[in-house]
Amino acid sequence: MLEIYNETIRDLLDSNPDKENLKIHKGPNGMFVENLTEWTVATLEDVIKAIKLGNGNRSVGVTNMNEHSSRSHRFHFHFHFYL
């Protein structure tokens, strides 16, 4: 899960502030973000936990329209299902 805020890409599943401004690359299997945290989830509760952690790490700033506005864009992607 990543966030783009003020033209900076951040890993929302890693609270380390030094892990900012990640780079997007094109690889043989498509686009990817270097050093983005990967979590293995086995249950719906695991998914909800990851989403809550990511939401908690999002950048939030005040705007004239809404004092709780998120001024960032969050992305969820890249799912693998193993049976």
Report yes or no on whether pTM surpasses 0.85.
Answer: no
Instruction: Give the domain ranges of the chain.
Output: 2-75
What is the pLDDT confidence band of residue 5, given thresholds at 50, 70 and 90?
Answer: confident
- pLDDT band for position 81 (cuts 50, 70, 90): low
Q: Is 48 helix (H, G, I), strand (E, B) or coil?
A: helix
- 57 burial (CB, 10 Å; 0-12 / 13-18 / 19+) is middle
Give the whole-angstrom CA distance, residue 2 versus residue 75: 5
Residue 4 corresponds to which tokens in the numbers above? 């783009």
> What tens digit of pLDDT does each residue of 20-79 get?
788 989 989 888 888 888 888 888 898 889 888 888 887 766 555 555 555 555 565 555
